[in-house]
Amino acid sequence: MKSPRTLAAAATVAVALLSGCASSPMNNTGYNGGASSGYGNTASMGYGTIESIQVTQADSGRTSGAGAVAGALVGALAGNQVGSGSGRTAATVAGGVGGALVGNNIEKSRNAGGGQEMYQVNVRMDNGEYRTVVQDSVYDLRVGNRVRLVDGRVYRY
C-alpha cells in the first residue's frame, strides 16, 4: 500500500488543478468580440450607432479539460493502490478513465452556475461596417446611442 503522503500529495494537486477551473473572461466579456477584438489593433477601435441589443445566455457547457486531467490523475493514483501485478495495472487504467469522467462532470457542473446573461450589441460603424460585440453588461446603452468601440467593448460616446 502506498504511503498516506502520496495520497495527500495527489489530493493537493487535484484541488490545485480544480481550483483553476473557474473561467476567467476574455476581453472582460467572457467572449471573443469577433471582428472587433484584438488589443492594439486599430480595426478594434471606432465609432458608430447601436442598431440592436439582444440578451443571450453564456455557454456553460464548455470545459477546459483541467477537471478531466485532475480526475484522471487522482483516479489512477487511487486505482494503483488496489491489487498487484496485472490487476493493479487494470485498476490504475480503470481509475484513470473513471476519474477523468468524474472530473470533467464536476468541472462542467461548476461552470454551469445558472448561465450568466450576456448582451449581444450590434453596432453600425461610421464607415458602414456592422460589428457584433458580446459583453456582460450594457450599463446605460440603448438602441440609437452613439458609441465608441474599444478592444471588443462598446462604450457610450
**How crowded is residue 147: how many other Cβ atoms within 10 Å of its Cβ?**
22
Residue in 134, 128, 129, 123 with CA at minimum distance from that of residue 156: 123
Q: What is the dihedral of CA 131, 137, 140, 146, to 10 degrees?
A: -10
Copy the grid coordinates of residue 39. Answer: 488589443
Residues whose CB is less than 8 angstroms from the CB of residue 77 and which lie 6 or more positions away in sequence, other chains included: 2, 6, 7, 10, 95
CATH of domain 31-58+116-157: 2.40.50
Q: Could you give the residue range(s) of every CATH 2.40.50 domain in the chain?
A: 31-58+116-157
**Counting every residue, how long is the chain?**
157
50: three-class secondary structure by DSSP = strand
Check residues 126 and 115 and name the one with the higher pLDDT.
Answer: 126
Specify the pLDDT at position 27. 42
- Which of 29-33, 60-64, 85-89, 145-149 has the largest mean confidence? 145-149
